[in-house]
Amino acid sequence: MRHAFIIAASIAAVPAWLVAQAQPVPVTSAIPGWKWSMDSITKTVDAVRAGRDLNPKSWPGGKKVAVLLSFDADNETVTLRFGETSVGALSMGQYGARVGLERIVKLLDARQIPASFFVPSVSLALHPEMATLVNTSGKHEWGVHGWVHEMNTTLAEADERALLVTATAELTRMTGKKPTGYRAPSWNFSPNTLSILRDLGFRYESSLMADDRPYELMQDGKRTGMVELPVEWILDDAPLFDPRGERYSPPREVARVWMDEFDKAYAEGTMFLLTMHPHIIGHRSRIVALEMLLDHIKAKGGDKVWYATHGEAAEYARKEAKLGEPIPRTSRQP
């Protein structure tokens, strides 16, 4: 099998077939949408779609808003995923494990705030000390974030499945607990991703953008029982904190956007979910934005704020909505 290398893969080298992949699987049709039939349009949008709103009337203890902080500990895998060997780029990623993560965990633990850490298993294998650092407080959660931050839409179904099986097994071994949640690397969801997640028994997913609130994922017009905790580029540090990018914004200006997002979530009684990266937010001038946000949340929300891991929020939303357990696919099991 083309993906058989994964079971015995070494992190010493990027898989050759991933480096040598000639052309990615296209994510657009050669036929423009105005030439599609309504049946084709419906089938396309119904493949993976937002279903029932799962936002509870209130959060645990009568809290008004749920605050979910997540950190994608990508480190060097952002460079390795495409077979790049640039020493400079790899060193930028190493900063996340060497400096950034510790700075973040110290801040969270000093304020007794739980968070979710989504990590490619190669990233954790390269830096096993991250597991001890994150696990020490007993408050944080690990989630699956691919094997080497691979782009799902470039992969055949069998390869995507094999990588996710391996990543889950390796994270379970290295962290001491099987993850229940998944975030696609770069939020890069393929046509096969949801089916694979369902087959592997994941309880929640956090890569899609159909709402500000938790919702149930639908597949081909049918319920899945899987909770989606939606993300947004507005609420991500990567696009706006790159000083080389055209979209760069000073961290303090970005913090103001995050504060406004929180204020609306608080007013609506919903959820505020923020995605960050240790190799980005972990820098000295950037973590100031997170500190400003946390100070604002404390001043604005006080004891009406529920800080939770993604897994805790997903399970609470599931219970309050009487969603039941995830619904297995009938056609295929892992």
**Domain covering 48-320 in this structure, CATH number:** 3.20.20.370
pLDDT at 138 over 50: yes
pTM for the whole structure: 0.90
Model confidence over 52-77: pLDDT tens digits? 999 999 999 999 999 999 999 999 99
The pLDDT score that the predictor gives to residue 28 is 65
The pLDDT-based confidence of 291 (bands split at 50, 70, 90) is very high
The pLDDT score that the predictor gives to residue 260 is 98
- Rounded CA-CA distance 132/105 in Å is 11
The pLDDT score that the predictor gives to residue 27 is 60
pLDDT at 18 over 50: no
pLDDT at 7 over 50: no
Question: Cα 116 to the chain's mean position, in Å?
Answer: 9
3-state SS, 207-274, equals CCCCCCCCEEEEECCEEEEEEECCCCHHHECCCCCCCCCCCCCCHHHHHHHHHHHHHHHHHHCCEEEE
Q: How many CB atoms lie within 10 A of CB 1?
A: 9
Domain ranges of the chain: 48-320
pLDDT at 10 over 60: no
Q: How many CB atoms lie within 10 A of CB 75?
A: 30
pLDDT at 6 over 60: no
Under DSSP, the state recorded for 63 is B
Tell me if 304 sits within 8 A of 64, measured CB to CB.
Answer: yes
Tell me if 287 sits within 8 A of 107, measured CB to CB.
Answer: yes
The pLDDT-based confidence of 330 (bands split at 50, 70, 90) is confident
Mean pLDDT over residues 215-233, rounded? 97
Q: Which two tokens stand for residue 286?
A: 């950037």
